[in-house]
Structures are given as structure tokens and as C-alpha cells.
Chain A
Amino acid sequence: MLDKRMSAADMVAQLSDGMTIGIGGWGPRRKPMALVREILRSGLKDLTIVAYGGADVGMLCAAGKVKKLVFAFVSLDAIPLEPWFRKAREAGQIEVLELDEGMFQWGLKAAAFGLPFLPTRVGLGTDLAELGGLKTVQSPYADGETLIAMPALNLDAAILHVNRSDWRGNVHLFGADVYYDEWFAKAASKTFVSCEELVDRMEDHYPEQAQANVFERCFVTGVVEIAGGAHPSSMPPHYGPDMRAFKTYADAAREPGNWPEVSDRFVGASEAEYLAGIGGKEAVMQTPLAIY
């Protein structure tokens, strides 16, 4: 039987300096934060990060891991402006490719299908094309329309946090919205998945929920069970965003404003230590779901 179980450290050991890494989820929702923390504990550097950004992007920027960021926004919802991302941008510390949210998923789809680009109207009439060096193409048909050629966002690796998986990488994603996790998985050469619940054989446990298999196991390289692994982001229906934790994190960007001084609190020497510091897995599971 295919067994894709590995530790978070094993996953990060398969990444290397300069890689392009996609991070699933959306803002402060469904982020693979335990895997992000594992990257933060590693010596990885010069990464290109591709994400609908939240604290994942803020932390990686603050820790100096990011050479380039591909983004449409970085936000913590109730705290609209991600303060650590802001600091990095205002210091001119990172290169960026700024995209519209829809263009972004279009670029993942181009990568998934092995295409150099996909055409779109989005970006015309704005500063995006010029700032991002995006080229245009002309329709070869009678309409002759000029369109933006959204380049493929090819990922060396993607990291995701999902509701369930089995040892072979049969994943279940549910909750109100699974965002673009499917396309991160398909755009990546390797996809590493952490999950709230790991079972041996999905068909022996949840055969009636196979429609939650949003992408197939051929897109999964490795799986690890990390309950609470999205904290402080939300993981519906298991738990909501920990807004108190986000506030502490945001406040720390102002005072002391220096990541090395505070990173222990937000990363920890190990995931076990991190979880202990926030009151354990049980506390995470009790965080109420967000009302929008």
C-alpha cells in the first residue's frame, strides 16, 4: 500500500533555498500554519511565496525568508492590514508580483494544465500589467481582441492544511469554502498536506463523503496529521480564527517590532511547544467559528 506519511520536518527537508512555494487557504482562513512554522524553524531562504496571504506571508516576510511575493492581498480579515507584511513592503525588503485575485487562480490553472499562460481581460486598464511585466496576446480569430497573457504560476511545492487524509493521500476538504487549494495542489511539482485527522484507509472510515475529495491523491506527495495545524487561522468546521492570537501578533509588529525578539511566541522550537504555549489542541478546537 502506498504510504505517504512523513513528518513536517521531512516535508521541509524536501524544500530548498530559492524554491517557489504556494501556500493554500485564504487570508486568515485554512492556512497550513504548522507547516509554515516548520519552514520558519528551518534554514530555508530566498523563497518565492505564492499565496492569498495572511499571517503565513507576514511571518515569512518578518523572518526574512521571502525574496519575492506573488499576491493579490495580505490580510487578517478583522485586522485588515497585515502588519508584518506591511513593514517588509515599506522597508522595500521584498520583490513583488501583484495580481488580481481572479488572475491569481488563473495563473495556478495555467500551471496545472502545463500551459505557458491563459488569456484574460483582467489587468487591462490598471497598473498591474506594467508593474508586473505582463504581456498581451491577440485573439487569432475574427474578433482580434487584445488580452493579458496571465503567466503560469508554476510551483516547486505547495503546502496545504486539509480536514482529513488517509495514508495514501486521499484527502477530504470541507467546511464553508475550500478556496483554491485544489489548484495549488495541481500547480505544484510536490504537494505536502497536513490534516486535522489522518486515517489508514479513507474507504473504511468515510466512504459516504467521497465528494469531499476535492483533488485526487496523484497530486499529494506527503501527508502528516497535525490537529490544530491551521492555528491561528481558521479551519471550519473544526475551529475559527484565533483573533486574540492575531491581535497579539499584530501588536508585536508595533512593539517591539522586531521579529527575532518575538518569534518564539509565534513559532516555538517545536510544534508541541507552540501548542502548549497557546493552551493546547483543546483550546484551538474551542475557538468559535467566524461570523462575516
Chain B
Amino acid sequence: MATLAELCIVACSEAFRGNGEIIATGVGPVPRLAASLAKLTHSPELMMTDGEAYLVEDPVPLGPRDYDDRKAAGYLPFSRFFDSAVWTGRRHAMVTPTQIDRFGQINLSQLGGTHKQPKTQMLGVRGFPGNTIYHPNSFFFPAHGPRVFVEGEVDMVSGVGYNPAKRIAGGNYTGVDLRLIVTNLCVMDFGGMDNAVRVVSLHPGVTFADVQSATGFTLADAVQGETPLPTAEQLEIISRLDPHNIRAGVIKDNPPAHGSMA
């Protein structure tokens, strides 16, 4: 029987469908498995790295393996990542920020306090400002709740969203392209009025009211149905890509896909 994490991997992989010859980057086990699954099933034209520097045509599995197991088909080190992938728009990244708000603004840098003295210092903005102004981005959250989907705005805007008040006049924002949000409860997109976040599918056993009450801002209801369960073929590929079952640790208690909220 499929787990909720596996259902999320399949849902996340849809973000990469039909993207063309671009770098698919999934940061974290579920997004990474999703990008790999997309490449091995519906979108073989996707490009990806081994997580270090080499482009591979066979996605590398998660977790311990021999260093030379990956077979390099190309080369995309950090030293040319901005030149080739990010600043040319030839990439779609799926990441897990600490906070996201109704504008799709994200935060990975700090919580609370001031910039001079944050209450909690996290990673820093990393590449989020550049990623979000240049290429498509999607998000995965393993624990959908109001501390992640915040009321108001994120504490530190590390990634560009659709907030008109934040946009310096005259700037070029045509590259801002937020796609899917997949969580342990549902799938959402930015297809509402003025790019408002809307729920497009609910995982089995979850209601729109469940999602709304776990979210700090008002969601649009555009539910078209239930998020599909993984197929046997998808499950087989996922288990091959994650031989150490790292995906079992992503969502609390690793619940089954079917009726997880019941």
C-alpha cells in the first residue's frame, strides 16, 4: 500500500511535466524523488545533476552509494550554475522554505527579532532571490500548518512573490513563475485572482475545511478532485530511487496514502 509520502512524490512530479530541456532541481527527499520520477516516466527530456556537479541521465538514488556510481553525461558545477541554469531561466526548482505567505513570498533566512538580531537564524537566503526572479519554482511542505502558511507576510522575504507592494517600479518581473505547492494535505497552485493561492486537489480523506484551518490566510476553493494514488509502476520506480526508504521519515508517522486524515 502506498504511503502519503509516495502520493506526494507523485503529485510533486507533476510540477515537472512538460517543462522541456531544463534543469529539474528537487531539494530534499520528496522533491528530489519527484524530479527523478518525472524524468524516468513522463518527461525524459529533463536534465538533472547528481546533487554535486555532474549532469546525469539516470537519476542517482538517495542515500549511501558508491561515489562513482553516478554516470556523468555532462557537467554543471556551482561555478557555472548561475551562467547556465539560473540566470538563463533554464531551471525549475522545488524547495521547502520555512515560511510562505499568500503572495507566494518565501523565507529561509530568519524568524522573529530583527535583521541585526534575529530570534532564530536559519540558513540565509541562499539562491532564493535569484531563483524566484528568473525561473519557475514549486514547493513541498511535509507539515501543513499556520506556522508555515503564515498570516500576513513572511518574516524575511527571501524569494519574490506576487506582492505588488514589494515590487520596485520599473523592474522586470516577467520571470516570476510560481507553480505548484504540494503538502501533506493537498495540492495548490497560484491560479486564483491576482495569483491567489487555490486548492486544486485534496489528498484522500482531507476536506477543504481541513486545509483552510491549517492555513494562516484565505484559500480559494478550486478543488477538482482527489490527488491520485501512485500506480504500481510509480511505486516500483520510487523504491528503486530510494533504496534506504529515506522517504519514510519525511511525514510524521509515515501515514498511508489512503484516508490519512480519517
Contact surface of A with B, Cβ cutoff 8 Å = 26, 53, 71-75, 80-81, 85-86, 89-92, 95-96, 98-103, 105, 121-129, 131, 136, 138, 144-147, 176-180, 182, 288-292
- Interface SS of chain A: helix, strand, loop or mixed? loop
Chain B residue at minimal CB-CB distance from A74: B124
Contacts of B105 in A (CB 8 A): 126
Whether A146 pairs with B129 at a CB distance below 8 angstroms is: no
B-chain residues with CB within 8 Å of residue A74 when the two chains form the complex: 123-124
Q: Chain A residues near B129: list those with CB within 8 A.
A: 100, 103, 122-123, 125-126, 128
Give chain B's interface residue range (CB within 8 Å of chain A): 35 or more
B51 interface residue per 8 A CB criterion: yes
CA distance A102 to B135 in the complex (A): 14
Contact assessment for A89 and B52 in the assembled complex, using a CB-CB cutoff below 8 Å:
no
Contact: B115 with A125, CB < 8 Å?
no
In B156-180, the 8 Å CB interface with A consists of 156-161, 163, 166-173, 175-176
The CA of A26 and the CA of B63, in the complex, are separated in Å by 21
Report the minimum CB–CB distance from A274 to chain B (whole Å).
27
B170 near A176 (CB under 8 angstroms)?
Answer: no
On whether the beta carbons of B117 and A102 are closer than 8 Å, the reply is no
From B126, B130, B172, name the one whose CB has the most chain A CB atoms within 10 angstroms. B130
A26 to chain B, nearest CB (A): 6
Binds A, one of B34-42, B77-85, B206-214, B246-254: B77-85
Q: What residues on A are CB-neighbors of B171 within 8 Å? A: 121, 124-125, 136, 145-147
Q: Are B117 and A92 in contact (CB under 8 A)?
A: yes
A92 vs B167: C-alpha distance when bound (angstroms): 29
A-chain residues with CB within 8 Å of residue B222 when the two chains form the complex: none
Complex alpha-carbon distance, A98 and B126, angstroms: 9
In this assembly, does B119 line the interface, its C-beta being within 8 Å of a C-beta of chain A? yes
On whether the beta carbons of A96 and B77 are closer than 8 Å, the reply is no
Residue pairs across A and B with Cβ atoms less than 8 A apart, 17 shown, are: A74-B124, A80-B123, A90-B120, A98-B115, A98-B125, A100-B129, A101-B130, A102-B86, A102-B127, A122-B133, A124-B167, A125-B133, A145-B172, A146-B168, A176-B77, A178-B79, A288-B67
